[in-house]
């Protein structure tokens, strides 16, 4: 039996005990002589299956926020607390994993649960399962809409390099966290990057429907996500498959999109340096973008490397200075239980909740 919580997952021997949490994936299977698992059966752990969406939230209240290939998203209000949320309704059943759309939903829920402590990831609140294989994912509401709409709303006066830097920094921070937890998004693009309506918008990455958990034994070969944002190795598909670095390529295309507002993006992907030079942006920003667009994955910038790049360094120092110690995002970090180094690290990574002695395992 294997339990997966964002990071690599863990094999359990017979009679070994382990506490499972909401959203954990549980796999049952046997090992072949090669040591690799044979066909695994996958389940997701979720409690309280009897509650209904309509009982807890006022769904008639809501306007439509968006829709895509698999789901519709509406605004909704909590009946007792009066808080506003977004609810994504998907026709799929995460308890029957024979169909690919069901597995997609299972991964979406599990990835969001694994990453819920980072303010740059759209926070999952709860999930409801309805008759007719309907699943509702209630999450925090990002009132500023998505980055694609934001870029187009600012198309006349182009986003300034400073605006782009503030957004890029937050995406890198959230994606670094996702990769550190073993989650690859595989559909990172402006439509899946939400914003709050603050003056300097706060980024909320969403739509983990194409997400996958990467580990030492898993090989990714499936062509999911959005073609325009695909890394070259997804197209070429070498025998070893591709890695989480496909997200870094998508970040490069997203930056091109922000700097050029989409004009002829296909051609720009092939010639990013020429495109960036003609857009009068600083040399540091050009290098930052081009580093994500390296054809050879091992030479491509990771999100960790990007966060310490010359383009982001001074901004990063400014952000860290602005955050009062012991508090992030309005939530107090527990001073008694957590040592200063751990607290500083959590603040830097934007983690809203840290447990004494780190993980729950």
- Which positions are annotated as active-site residues? 187
Tell which one of 3, 44, 86, 220 touches ligand ATP (CB under 6 A): 86
> In the complex, what is the shortest distance from the CB of residue 78 to Mg ion, in angstroms, rounded to a whole number?
24
Task: Please list the residues that pair with 175 across neighbouring strands.
Answer: none
> In the complex, what is the shortest distance from the CB of residue 86 to ligand ATP, in angstroms, rounded to a whole number?
3
Tell which one of 192, 250, 254, 260 touches Mg ion (CB under 5 A): 192
Tell which one of 12, 31, 32, 67 touches ligand ATP (CB under 6 A): 67
Which does residue 200 touch among Mg ion, ligand ATP, none (CB within 5 to 8 A, set by kind)?
none
Task: Please list the residues that pair with 184 across neighbouring strands.
Answer: 212
Q: How would you label 17-49 residue by residue, b for 16+ Cβ within 10 Å and e otherwise?
A: eeeeebbbbbeeeeeeeeeebeeeebebebeee
Q: Helix axis angle, 310-322 relative to 161-180, nearest 10°?
A: 80
68 binds ligand ATP (CB under 6 A): yes
Report d(CA 240, CA 237) in Å as an integer: 8
Nearer Cβ to ligand ATP, position 25 or 124?
Answer: 124
Report d(CA 238, CA 53) in Å as an integer: 44
227 binds ligand ATP (CB under 6 A): no
Nearer Cβ to ligand ATP, position 88 or 300?
Answer: 88
Which does residue 4 touch among ligand ATP, Mg ion, none (CB within 5 to 8 A, set by kind)?
none
DSSP-based three-state secondary structure for 229: helix
Nearer Cβ to Mg ion, position 258 or 301?
Answer: 258
CA 334 to chain centroid: 26
Nearer Cβ to ligand ATP, position 78 or 294?
Answer: 78
DSSP-based three-state secondary structure for 259: helix
Report d(CA 6, CA 178) in Å as an integer: 8
Name the residue number minimizing CB distance to Mg ion. 207
List C-alpha distances in Å: 31 to 5, 217, 219: 20, 13, 17
122 DSSP 8-state letter: P
> In the complex, what is the shortest distance from the CB of residue 272 to ligand ATP, in angstroms, rounded to a whole number?
25
- Residues 54-113 contacting Mg ion, CB under 5 A: 68
DSSP-based three-state secondary structure for 326: coil
Token pair for 253: 């295309």
Tell which one of 4, 44, 74, 88 touches ligand ATP (CB under 6 A): 88
66 binds ligand ATP (CB under 6 A): yes
Size of the site for ligand ATP (CB under 6 A): 22
Identify whether the C-beta of residue 8 lies closer than 8 Å to the C-beta of residue 19: no
Identify whether the C-beta of residue 164 lies closer than 8 Å to the C-beta of residue 279: no
Nearer Cβ to Mg ion, position 229 or 288?
Answer: 229
Residues in contact with ligand ATP by CB under 6 A are 65-71, 73, 86, 88, 122, 139, 141-142, 145-146, 191-192, 194, 206-207, 209
Site residues, Mg ion (CB under 5 A): 68, 192, 207
């Amino acid at each position: 039996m294997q339990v997966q919580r964002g990071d690599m997952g863990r094999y359990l021997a017979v009679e070994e005990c382990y506490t499972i949490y909401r959203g954990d994936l549980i796999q049952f299977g046997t090992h072949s002589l090669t040591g690799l698992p044979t066909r695994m059966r996958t389940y997701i752990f979720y409690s309280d299956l009897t509650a209904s969406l309509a009982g807890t939230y006022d769904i008639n209240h809501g306007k439509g926020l968006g829709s895509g290939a698999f789901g519709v998203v509406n605004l909704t209000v909590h009946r007792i607390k009066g808080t506003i949320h977004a609810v994504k309704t998907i026709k799929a059943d995460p308890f029957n994993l024979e169909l690919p759309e069901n597995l997609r939903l299972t991964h979406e829920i599990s990835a969001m649960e694994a990453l819920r402590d980072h303010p740059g990831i759209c926070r999952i609140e709860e999930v409801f399962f309805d008759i007719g294989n309907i699943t509702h994912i209630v999450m925090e509401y990002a009132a500023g809409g998505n980055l694609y709409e934001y870029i187009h709303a600012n198309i006349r006066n182009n986003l300034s390099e400073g605006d782009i830097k503030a957004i890029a920094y937050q995406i890198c921070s959230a994606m670094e966290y996702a990769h550190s937890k073993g989650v690859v998004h595989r559909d990172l693009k402006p439509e899946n990057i939400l914003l709050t309506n603050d003056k300097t918008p706060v980024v909320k990455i969403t739509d983990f429907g194409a997400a996958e958990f990467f580990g030492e034994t898993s090989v990714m070969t499936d062509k999911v996500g959005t073609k325009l944002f695909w890394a070259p190795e997804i197209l070429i598909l070498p025998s070893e498959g591709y890695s989480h670095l496909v997200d870094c390529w998508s970040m490069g295309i997203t930056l091109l999109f922000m700097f050029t507002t989409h004009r002829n993006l296909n051609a720009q992907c092939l010639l990013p340096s020429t495109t960036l030079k003609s857009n009068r942006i600083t040399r540091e920003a050009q290098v930052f973008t081009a580093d994500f667009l390296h054809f050879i994955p091992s030479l491509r910038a990771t999100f960790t490397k990007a966060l310490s790049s010359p383009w982001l360094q001074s901004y990063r120092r400014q952000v860290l200075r602005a955050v009062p110690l012991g508090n992030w995002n309005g939530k107090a970090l527990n001073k008694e239980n957590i040592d200063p180094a751990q607290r500083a690290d959590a603040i830097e990574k934007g983690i809203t909740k840290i447990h004494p002695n780190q993980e729950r395992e």
